[in-house]
Amino acid sequence: MTTAAAAVAPPITLDNNVTTLLTAINRADCGNEQLCAAQPSDCDPSTSSSCFFLAAKQSSGSNFDFGLSGESDGYIAATLSLDNILGGNDTTYVCANNNGVVKFFGAVLDNGKLTLRDLPVDSVKGKITGKKIQCTFSATVPAQRTIASISISTGPFDSSTDALGDPITHFKSSLVDLENANPTVTNELSTTSHAITIQQSLTQALLFTVGVLGLTML
């Protein structure tokens, strides 16, 4: 009799060799078979150039299939964080533009810096179209990181030294369950930016009003 534990696939053995991705990453199965994060929220990476996108689909246990897409002159990366604060040696998957072909790296993010680290990843595929980087891969996610904050970032890449520059974050979610494909994953950075813009506009309006009242009293 097969037990549930026996049915779970073993952890993936590292193989980060990259083969060609023949089909474009798309959002067709979002909310159904895979969890998706995107900026803008409704963008489709198969058609839009300005679309930062990450899809995660559980294959077995802590093994997941990922799709990552975005525009960058250097690299695009997906980070899984245990909390809402980026850093603290967060697991990060990096797809870089290596002179027109994708090169894959495992890394950890700490204090705004990426440090290369071997991660259990295989079946890596990628392609470069202009500035758009797309890659798919399978990975064994650390068990405690199946509930994680997702972030998507870009940064510079030096192909001569494999050096990864400091990441710029374009998408960051609250904690989500990677095993659940249904939730809508929102970008906290957009909310923060919107709130800051409103606050700045109100402040500017108040200063303008005070200025006008001051002139009328002269």
Asked whether residue 86 falls in the same domain as residue 173, the answer is yes
- CB 86, CB 109: distance < 8 Å: yes
pLDDT tens per residue, range 35-74: 999 999 999 999 988 899 999 999 999 999 999 999 999 9
Q: Which domain holds residue 129?
A: 4-185
Task: Please report the pLDDT score of residue 135 as a whole number.
Answer: 98
CATH number of residue 18's parent domain:
2.60.40
pLDDT tens per residue, range 77-128: 999 999 988 999 999 999 999 999 999 999 999 999 999 999 999 999 999 9
Asked whether residue 199 falls in the same domain as residue 93, the answer is no
Asked whether residue 131 falls in the same domain as residue 104, the answer is yes
**Total tally of structural domains belonging to the chain:** 2
Mean pLDDT of the chain: 87
What is the pTM for the complete model shown? 0.84
- CB 92, CB 107: distance < 8 Å: yes
Tokens of 113: 């810096």
